[in-house]
Amino acid sequence: MKAGCAFALACVLPCAWTPGAFAADDGRWPVVNDTVASAWKQGIDGSGVKVAVLDTQAVEDYPALKDADITYRLGRFSGMDGNEVECKVGGRPLTATIKAGDDGYYSSHGTDMLSWIVGDGGNYTLDKAGMLGAAPKARILHITTMGTSATAATTLCDAKKLGDASSDNGADVRTAVDWGARIINRSQSGGLDDTDYAGYVDALRHGIIMVGARANDTTPGLDDLTGDPRSMETFPGVVMVNSVDESGTLASTSDVMDGNVAVLSYGANVLKPINYVAEGDNRVGNGGTSTAAAVLSSYLALAMQKWPDATGNQIIQSLIRNTKSGKGKPVIDPERKRGFGEVDLNALLTVDPTQYKDVNPILEYQMKAAAQYPDLKDWYTQDCKTNPDGVGTAADNVPCEAGLIGQEYERQQTAWKKVEQCRSDGGSDCMQYSATNTADGSTNNTATPNGQAKPEGDPSQSASSGMPVWLWGVIGAGVAVIAAGVIIALVVSRRRRTRVRIPVSGVAYGSVRSYPNGPVPSRPYPGGSQRSGGQAPPAPNRVPEQPPSQPQQPYPQQVPRRGFAPPQPYPPTDPAPGVPAPDNHGGNGNPGGHGRYSG
């Protein structure tokens, strides 16, 4: 583990972070704007908020990160048997970080993502703009999941055969949970296996906001926001991000052929390294969904500092309800290309999220939507005791451990009913019964969601039931013991089954792929109303090949803005009789095997 530099204390915020020192037209407009400037003037700069970033090796002495509070840690790697192994790249042990100039690298994908969260605008050279983040005072845990390369393509561990040494995705997420992360940013995509699910569910259980970047391609996938536990970016409850420019126009590399999109954020027409071996040569281009995810994570960090009593689930509720098109209600794009809409930072910082329930709204939508499709309805209700082989075919199997996701959703709903009952009975401190505050099996936690201690004088007895709080703790401990038994049983079950670990892999972020010709198949919306406007947007012109001196492609043309059919209500209503199942909900026939960089 390697710690980054401590915060600089000699200069107050306006001195170090005055937006006037930067120009919006140099590609830093997601940060250089009036909303961020106003937040910084109020001291809202991410202070105290813990953000975990799972990505490639970072350049630890990168100029824009010199004053950032970053702890660097190497992720866990395992073999096909699940045992931990050492990851070597090119015969050398993978390290958590590199230094500027090592093997010719001056930046990396992971460095870029960190900079969009906590960067201070520094650069190797004064004549080129440096990377800038909206939450410069956030605390960061950077978990290295793979090496770096000049083009942002994946650098996997050396292996004689596939799976000999792969990133242990579930373990890395659990590391972030144990560290106390409020947000997990993962600007990567790739497959998950059944042993990863418990780690992701643990993050959901603790109300951690997981931000994932949609793939930068147009491969057809699921038609609705149903989630898919076999991929890290589509795991249920993850805030799945597509990329737009400053006008809200979708980037041509945003995935509009898969309905698993939750929110739009900013990753097009932004500052980015021309490549990772050019010292400080940053230019405006297509940052992909990777940048969009990192920008969103920085905004969420500001919101968490602004609203310290809000849980992560309540922040997500505010995020999807108060998009630039939401107006206080979660309304999903009927074509499933824009999710619930474009992030509105001003709304995140002005609308109190504690008015919303402590239930992950993306998870809620996905559970209800999946239940209305015949080929998906059993995904999240599985029980490994009765159905150890999962559902689906051998080539397109959803492991039985996906049932843990449905169980977590039911737990969140049950907990919120108890909060509402407490309030109805005139009780006090009713949020002690919420899903986030009972994540560890007990109520009346001594800390707020942001980790700060609660004030003295909390009631020692539940006003709604008259039952002493210590007795609730005993009950909670019993629940925890039962849960531990279930986990042990699942572990034993896993050991009896063939392990399939799919490595994270990728292509250069911001790379351009043409849209497929022809219309998008019509997709029934859960609840009976047929989506309208099923045509794919016009295919953008192909970007010409770039000369060797510029391996990163310039900003591609944007998909033209399009009108949408009347928005559909959220969440989906009860299914109408006879709703046909989509033809192509079965996945891509290669579960988890479509790993690639997201941005």
Q: Verify cis geometry, omega within 30 degrees of 0, for the bond prior to 571.
A: yes
State the catalytic residue, choosing from 45, 69, 78, 109: 109
With a pLDDT cut of 70, the percent of the chain lying above it is 67
C-beta of residue 293 within 8 angstroms of C-beta of residue 285: no
| pLDDT surpassing 60 at residue 521 | no
On average, the pLDDT of the chain sits at 76
In angstroms, rounded to a whole number, what is the distance separating the alpha carbons of residues 329 and 317?
9
> Pick the residue with more confidence: 589 or 331?
331
- Buried b / exposed e over 501-524, threshold 16 CB at 10 Å, is bbbbbbbbbbbbbebeeeebeebb
C-beta of residue 203 within 8 angstroms of C-beta of residue 210: yes
Q: Per the structure block, which two tokens stand in for 172?
A: 């890395």
Name the CATH superfamily, with its identifier, for domain 2-309+333-344: Peptidase S8/S53 domain (3.40.50.200)
As a whole number of Å, the CA-based R_g of the chain is 23
C-beta of residue 449 within 8 angstroms of C-beta of residue 307: no
Work out the pLDDT band at 461, boundaries 50, 70, 90: very low
State the catalytic residue, choosing from 108, 167, 189, 290: 290
C-beta of residue 62 within 8 angstroms of C-beta of residue 111: yes
Rounded to an integer, the average pLDDT of 227-253 is 92
The phi, psi pair for 71, rounded to 5°, reads: -105, 125
Q: What is the pLDDT of residues 370-388, one digit of tens each?
A: 999 999 999 999 999 999 9
pLDDT score for 220 = 67
pLDDT score for 251 = 86
Helix/strand/coil for 375: coil
- Which among 259, 55, 163 has a CA at the least distance from the CA of 592? 163
- 109 an active-site residue? yes
Within 10 A of 29 (CB to CB), how many other CB atoms are there? 19
Q: Name, in order, each residue with C-beta under 8 angstroms of 168's C-beta and a sequence gap of 6 or more.
A: 75, 76, 77, 78, 84, 196, 501
Within 10 A of 467 (CB to CB), how many other CB atoms are there? 11
- 45 an active-site residue? no
With a pLDDT cut of 90, the percent of the chain lying above it is 55
Written as one letter, the residue type at 573 is T
Secondary structure letter of residue 113 according to DSSP? H
The model carries a pTM of 0.75
State the DSSP string of 84-144. Answer: B---EETTEE--SEE-TTGGG-S--HHHHHHHHHH-BS--SSTTSPPPB-S-TT-EEEEEE
State the catalytic residue, choosing from 45, 55, 67, 358: 55
**Tokens 């990851």 belong to which residue?**
87
Written as one letter, the residue type at 556 is P
In angstroms, rounded to a whole number, what is the distance separating the alpha carbons of residues 314 and 304?
10
Lowest-pLDDT choice from 65-74, 176-185, 571-580: 571-580
- 511 an active-site residue? no
> Pick the residue with more confidence: 347 or 571?
347
